[in-house]
Structure 1
């Protein structure tokens, strides 16, 4: 989860650790994005299965009557 901090917490970055902090930020963002993608794929799979079940149910009802 992305957290926002008050502007009083901001400090200037030293050139020596700027690259390290940027790399850490990118890694955290990559992990968050991967988690969001997996969650989205899971939801889409559930919706697809529910749609298939509904379609098969309607098809079965139409053949029965």
Structure 2
């Protein structure tokens, strides 16, 4: 699972970054992680971003608990 994350993150984010210096990469990482978690669709999560998937899962759990 971790290897899949690293490969995806490198392919979709790191390879698009300015990698001229360590500082340049470190400055870009917060935005890359934000995109990965908020926007980037994942096939294992029914083509939703991780945070969207978790929010919907939480809502489903609340509805099921209320029944």
Q: Normalised by the size of structure 1, how large is the TM-score?
A: 0.41
Q: Which has the larger radius of gyration?
A: 1
> Normalized per residue, which structure has more helix?
1
- TM-score by length of structure 2 reads 0.40
